[in-house]
Structure 1
Amino acid sequence: MIQNELSRRRLLGLGVGLGAAASLTLAGCGGGSATTSGGAAGNGGKDYTGPKVDLKLWNGFTGGDGDIFKKLVQQFNTEHQNIAVAVTTYQWDDYYSKLPGAVSSGNGPDIAVMHMDQLATFAARGVINELDDVAKALELNEGDFAPTVWKGGLYNDKRYGIPLDMHPLGFYYNKSVMQKAGLDPEKPPTTKDDYTAALAELKKAGVQGFWVSPFQFTGGMTFYSLLHQWGGTLFDGEVQKATFNSDPAVEACTWLVDMIKQGYSPANVGQDADYLALKAGKNAFNWNGIWQINDIAKDPNAQIGVAPLPQIGSQPAAWANSHNFTIVKQRAADNNKVSGAKVFINWLSEHSLDWAKGGQIPARKAVREGADFKAIPNVSTLAVELDYAAFPPATPGLGEVILTFYNSFNEAALNKKSPKQALDDGVAKANKQLEDNRKKYGS
């Protein structure tokens, strides 16, 4: 009943399988210098006074957030008679594979919404334009955003993305199931000891309380969070070597796999079965994305709470990603369209409070700290995670490497290999992929 909602999230934040698509030859898309119209003031999008322009915008918001996004675009069009933005929406997995070819053929969009971890790849391939003037015109700087979100929009010290939001993993708990096991439904576990104690009580009541998915959504993201909670990282500081087989990583993976071995989770959990079981009252706890908040709100009888992730390791951490606005390069540059696109990006950035209602945390600090945002149920609850969010590195071609990380966890969760062997094998493959990326994109 929520298949469309679930399918759109398959590749929501990780760029899985996108290395090959992004490496397509983009003939002509990066070097066009002819102008079909010139003369619009390049003022970073503060305003646009030129002739009417029609802009194409691509995005992957196919769920409830898509409806809110389209309403905001309609509002923008109403308020700007000389700019008309037409929205085209794809599933994220189709979106990133279609974009390079469309740009190469001259049929790409003018504006593209892009995840933070994809910016460097598409910037390196010459698909998107620099946006330093937009940040300057808006007087935006790192102090207005979380440092990781702000820096994630940079490639070779040039800005290619204007941050719109951040979306972390959150903790969902079924209050009814907890209550039946004698647990306080208003006090979800926050520590490792609390968590394991609660699972033991649930097990006594005949409930496997924490279903561990072997898939990226959501077991892989859970492991990603736990690895950082244990103090590990996926890569070294320069993203030259994979490090997700470190002692902290093995310990985090072992803890999660042991959930299955100790009977707190079934084995071989199907894709999205962990979340569906939570809603059906068959388990108690689920680590999932902020994008599920709107889904649980659809059921007025649902007794599902939302909280920041429990701290299982030595420090708090949560997987997260961020949507950014980008301007796509064209074969023949149109200065008027570029200026109009910048006006739209500025306008949407300023309306990020409205966007937050789609289940996203505004990237702008002032909006995030305002009373209006704090009044949005559950979404504001997860905003505290921004202080310790573990974002993917902004490095070209990293999609396939991160897929290797998730596949390694999959092998451990399915008991095909021990956690250490699975992660060791994954790191060996990842290091070869990183070496290939350095040859493709430069070090």
Structure 2
Amino acid sequence: MIQNEMSRRRLLGLGVGLGAAATLTLAGCGGGSSTKGSTAAGNGGKEYTGPKVDLKLWNGFTGGDGDIFKKLVEQFNSEHQNIAISVITYEWQDYYSKLPGAVSSGNGPDIAVMHMDQLATFAARGVITELDDVAKTLQLSEGDFAPTVWKGGLYHDKRYGIPLDMHPLGFYYNKAVMQKAGLDPNKPPATKDEYTAALTELKKSGVQGFWVSPFQFTGGMTFYSLLHQWGGTLFDGEVAKATFNSDPAVEACTWLVDMIKQGFSPANVGQDADYLALKSGKNAFNWNGIWQINDLKKSAGLEWGVAPLPQIGSQKAAWANSHNFTIVKQRSADNNKVSGAKVFINWLSEHSLDWAKGGQIPARKEVREGAEFKALPEISALAPELEYAAFPPASPGLGEVMVTFYNAFNEAALGKKSPKQALDDGVAKANKQLEDNRKKYGS
């Protein structure tokens, strides 16, 4: 794969961690006092009958999903003569860095696509506006979505995001490599015992079947999933203290490190080498994001499958993130633009089946349960993970803390520290960061 595309894919799900540089410049953004269009012809997203409005929409969809997104916007524009959406696309990392300054200077977008775990930070700094009226008018409720995704759009019991999708970690397997080792290529391991047994058979055939990456993409996300599978959490209920050095967390981390020690994985796996090894037949299993499905479909001759993550711990869990639509506060609010933006958000949410083809699980329940979505076999195979997806809590400034979490795993995976020591050291640093966040953002 071209390196630029690999970099984009690594950033696709990376809501947490990307906004760290932006948080320092967020104060004072948005919230002007003057208002235009105070008698806007809108009703919370059902329709807009006012004068034509031109809206800017920022997003980070730079790959094939971006093409699908732009086509959907073009369709919306053709169906709404009084609303014109122009799409501005950045790499996610640049996007989150540019947004605060653009809003502060009055040059920000009207609509912004935002990862779920960024909502709290941007809401706390007044960059995005509340959307409770949209949910109420459109009669949207938790029952229309998966509870985890719906609740992720809340901050201080107010809604700031309307969920569009969910993108989880999935379990990819190379059927040809499995078959050569005497394994059933159509029955991927689903439990800890099955997983260990499969790796043992692969090792006998000369294959290190599960390459453990020390990097966030994808080893850190795998550890994130396993920590929750073992019943652990990253933070306490108030997000005041880090807890990713608990006994369950250490056990999950140790299991992954043991994969290396027992020879099921090579040591010092390079960035993306685990995924490239799956494609080239050098390993059998890879825990990676749903966004890899469309890339694998382009790999001629590759026999592969995808399934929900195996349950290694005591319960099912999977790392996941979600794209949400937000409306950006302006220095001079224009109620007509806000009304038009709400219509667009509702429209695209209703058309999330088309968006699913870009490699996303629709947030709307009725779309997920429809025959057309189920006819997308690879993507719909990961839909069950929505019910037990592990999302980060809604806490502002969490990006830097999550980087500390992933760095702690990196030290353990590279053998620089024992799992216990690496996680203890990470928690000590994370607690200081959480304390700084309380001072910066308030409780």
Tell me the TM-score range normalised by the shorter chain. Answer: over 0.9
Q: CA deviation at 1:105?
A: 1.1
Aligned counterpart, 1:370:
370
Aligned counterpart, 1:316:
316
Code of the aligned partner of 2:330: Q
What secondary structure, in the 3-state scheme, does the structure 1 residue paired with 2:172 have? Answer: strand
What secondary structure, in the 3-state scheme, does the structure 1 residue paired with 2:126 have? Answer: coil
Aligned counterpart, 2:271:
271
Aligned counterpart, 1:100:
100
What secondary structure, in the 3-state scheme, does the structure 1 residue paired with 2:106 have? Answer: coil
- After superposition, residues 20-169 of structure 1 pair within 5 angstroms as 20-27=21-28, 29-169=29-169
Aligned counterpart, 2:186:
186
Say if 2:232 is the partner of 1:232: yes
Q: Check conservation: 1:361, 1:368, Cα contact below 8 A.
A: yes
Code of the aligned partner of 2:51: P
For 2:125 and 2:9, locate their aligned partners in 1 and report how far apart those are by CA, in whole Å.
25
Q: Check conservation: 2:17, 2:400, Cα contact below 8 A.
A: yes
For 2:158 and 2:198, locate their aligned partners in 1 and report how far apart those are by CA, in whole Å.
48
Q: Check conservation: 1:26, 1:103, Cα contact below 8 A.
A: no
Q: Check conservation: 1:165, 1:324, Cα contact below 8 A.
A: yes
Aligned counterpart, 1:353:
353
Q: CA deviation at 1:26?
A: 4.1
For 1:344 and 1:22, locate their aligned partners in 2 and report how far apart those are by CA, in whole Å.
28
Q: CA deviation at 1:19?
A: 2.9
Aligned counterpart, 2:252:
252
Moved runs in structure 1, 4+ residues, more than 3 A? Answer: none
For 1:13 and 1:141, locate their aligned partners in 2 and report how far apart those are by CA, in whole Å.
26
For 1:8 and 1:385, locate their aligned partners in 2 and report how far apart those are by CA, in whole Å.
23
Say if 2:19 is the partner of 1:18: yes
Residues 264-289 of structure 1: CA deviation (Å, up to 9, x unaligned): 11111111110011001110000000
For 1:56 and 1:31, locate their aligned partners in 2 and report how far apart those are by CA, in whole Å.
18
Aligned counterpart, 1:424:
424
Code of the aligned partner of 1:23: L
- After superposition, residues 213-224 of structure 1 pair within 5 angstroms as 213-224=213-224
Q: CA deviation at 1:387?
A: 1.3
Q: Check conservation: 2:103, 2:330, Cα contact below 8 A.
A: yes
Code of the aligned partner of 2:436: D
Aligned counterpart, 1:328:
328
What secondary structure, in the 3-state scheme, does the structure 1 residue paired with 2:9 have? Answer: coil
For 2:424 and 2:4, locate their aligned partners in 1 and report how far apart those are by CA, in whole Å.
36
Code of the aligned partner of 1:376: L
For 2:257 and 2:26, locate their aligned partners in 1 and report how far apart those are by CA, in whole Å.
42
Aligned counterpart, 2:396:
396
Code of the aligned partner of 1:22: T
Aligned counterpart, 2:170:
170
Code of the aligned partner of 1:409: F
Residues 85-134 of structure 1: CA deviation (Å, up to 9, x unaligned): 11111111111111101111111111000010100100000000111111
What secondary structure, in the 3-state scheme, does the structure 2 residue paired with 1:312 have? Answer: coil
Q: CA deviation at 1:162?
A: 0.2
TM-score, normalised via structure 1 length: 0.98
Q: Check conservation: 1:17, 1:403, Cα contact below 8 A.
A: no
For 2:399 and 2:67, locate their aligned partners in 1 and report how far apart those are by CA, in whole Å.
28
Q: Check conservation: 1:57, 1:86, Cα contact below 8 A.
A: yes
For 1:172 and 1:146, locate their aligned partners in 2 and report how far apart those are by CA, in whole Å.
24
What secondary structure, in the 3-state scheme, does the structure 2 residue paired with 1:172 have? Answer: strand
CA RMSD of aligned residues (A): 1.1
What secondary structure, in the 3-state scheme, does the structure 2 residue paired with 1:114 have? Answer: strand
Q: CA deviation at 1:17?
A: 4.7
For 2:299 and 2:250, locate their aligned partners in 1 and report how far apart those are by CA, in whole Å.
39
Code of the aligned partner of 2:25: L
| Greater alpha carbon shift after TM alignment, 366-375 vs 30-39 | 30-39
Q: CA deviation at 1:5?
A: 2.6
Q: CA deviation at 1:259?
A: 0.6
Code of the aligned partner of 1:302: L
Q: CA deviation at 1:51?
A: 1.3
Aligned counterpart, 2:2:
2
For 1:191 and 1:203, locate their aligned partners in 2 and report how far apart those are by CA, in whole Å.
18
Code of the aligned partner of 1:61: F
Q: CA deviation at 1:64?
A: 1.3
Gaps of 5+ in 2: none
Q: CA deviation at 1:4?
A: 2.9
Code of the aligned partner of 2:269: V
What secondary structure, in the 3-state scheme, does the structure 1 residue paired with 2:324 have? Answer: strand
For 1:23 and 1:324, locate their aligned partners in 2 and report how far apart those are by CA, in whole Å.
22
Q: Check conservation: 2:26, 2:127, Cα contact below 8 A.
A: no
For 1:128 and 1:164, locate their aligned partners in 2 and report how far apart those are by CA, in whole Å.
17
For 1:256 and 1:371, locate their aligned partners in 2 and report how far apart those are by CA, in whole Å.
38
For 1:190 and 1:200, locate their aligned partners in 2 and report how far apart those are by CA, in whole Å.
15
Q: CA deviation at 1:370?
A: 1.2
Identity %: 85
Q: Check conservation: 1:4, 1:63, Cα contact below 8 A.
A: no
What secondary structure, in the 3-state scheme, does the structure 2 residue paired with 1:35 have? Answer: strand
Q: CA deviation at 1:36?
A: 3.6
Code of the aligned partner of 1:257: V
Q: CA deviation at 1:9?
A: 2.8
| Greater alpha carbon shift after TM alignment, 62-71 vs 121-130 | 62-71
For 1:76 and 1:298, locate their aligned partners in 2 and report how far apart those are by CA, in whole Å.
29
Q: Check conservation: 1:10, 1:93, Cα contact below 8 A.
A: no
Q: Check conservation: 1:14, 1:402, Cα contact below 8 A.
A: no
Q: CA deviation at 1:25?
A: 4.4
TM-score, normalised via structure 2 length: 0.98
For 1:131 and 1:52, locate their aligned partners in 2 and report how far apart those are by CA, in whole Å.
22
